[in-house]
Structure 1
Amino acid sequence: MRARVLTIAVFTASLACSGVAAVAAAPAPDSPDARFVQMAHQSNAAEIAAGQDAQKNATTTCVKQAGATLVKDHTKLDAELAALAKKGDVSLPGTPTREQQTVLAEVRSKAGSPEYDKAGLMAQEAGHTKTLTLIDQQINQGKDADTTAAAKKARPVVAMHLEMVRGGTCHTM
């Protein structure tokens, strides 16, 4: 009888622990971790839009290829964020920030000219620098393990993109 009570107690404790782990496996909707997911999602949306635009309006093959890389990589990163958001019931903004939209509009106004390529690369450098800061903050201060793992996974990709556009010069990898 005593062994059966002990077995039931161990089983109940393991269920309780597994329930806690499941709750902790996604950012809480109003947490700093959730805010990271939302902001990173907006950055991804901005980079995808800029990459698509570069594929259409850039004047050099290098910038067009960089645009394709941005679309491919940020689409993949964003799919992972969307899964985290769904798991944690975190709502994602439907568009990039107003600032990101303004920057994209400014770059688009130069479409088809060499100024477009330079402006787009400079905008990408600024955007990826901000995103790396956001990622590093999550890595250093994040509470949710899955969200922090996503930030760690994204960091080398975003750092590679930054090197690809550093100094307003295109360097495809």
Structure 2
Amino acid sequence: MKKLMYVLAVSASAIAFQACSGGNKDAKESADSLNMAKDTTTNAMATGGIAVDEADAKFTTQAAVGGMAEVELGKMALEKSTNEQVKEFATMMVKDHGMANTELMAIAKQKNITLPSTVDDEHKKKMEDLSKKSGKDFDKAYVDAMVSGHKSTLKLMEDESRDGKDVDLKAFATKTAPVVQSHLVMINKINDSMK
């Protein structure tokens, strides 16, 4: 019983410390920190232990942030774009990444993985930069962001598909990678047509 109380006290202290020191962390970093604090190696009942290893948890938070950003940037493009191809692509981003986000949230809940509630600082800055643009300048910047974003997302999905330990997250990445690949092909064609 003393050991259980000790574990609970240490866990509570760790969470309190993280809450106090988390002021400079963005949503993704905070979620990653919370996931690291969940520990199944000692006593899952006492700690609310995480059901996946650290690398899989980080994949999940990174994929969640990227998916949220794709949806938000897609909504922005639907409002600001003057290019029909860009609007069509943005509609697909909202739909496809919205569905993937819902699926990922369900897996995360099942695995006790804390997801960020908002995008990280990097994506916030990208959104702010894009919100200041209009017309063809907006379209070009959005397309550039989508090309680089989909390249990194494809690598993220392929890496998890190959190296992931959790069966469900690995299956999610394996299923999502071809969709991201098709998005990348499409946005590259749009990019080429704008030159």
The TM-score normalised by the length of structure 1 is: 0.78
8 Å contact kept, 1:125–1:167: no
Of the two structures, which has the highest relative contact order with CA contacts closer than 8 Å and spacing of 6 or more? 1
Deviations 1:138-169 (A, max 9, x none): 11110011100000111011111111211762
Aligned residue in 2 for 1:67: 90
Query: Would you say the 8 A contact 1:119–1:168 is kept in 2?
Result: no
Amino acid at match of 1:61: E
RMSD of aligned residue pairs (Cα, Å): 1.7
Whole-angstrom CA distance in 1 between matches of 2:79 and 2:192: 16
Q: 2:147 aligns with which of 112, 125, 147?
A: 125
For structure 2, the 5+ residue unaligned runs are 1-49
For 2:121, the equivalent position in structure 1 comes to 98
Question: Do structure 1's residue 44 and structure 2's residue 62 form an aligned pair?
Answer: no
Pairing of 1:78-117 with structure 2 (within 5 A): 78-111=101-134, 113-117=135-139
CA distance in 1, matches of 2:51, 2:183: 30
Larger Rg: 1
Q: CA deviation at 1:28?
A: 2.4
Unmatched tracts of structure 1, length 5 or more: 1-26
Alignment of 1:52-63 (within 5 A): 52-63=75-86
| Moved beyond 4 Å, runs of 4+ | none
Aligned residues, how many?
Answer: 144
TM-score (norm 2): 0.70
**Alpha-carbon distance change, 50 to 170 in structure 1, aligned in 2, over 3 angstroms:** farther
Please list the CA deviations of residues 10-62 of structure 1 after superposition, one character each: whole Å capped at 9, or x if unmatched: xxxxxxxxxxxxxxxxx725521111111101000000001000000001111
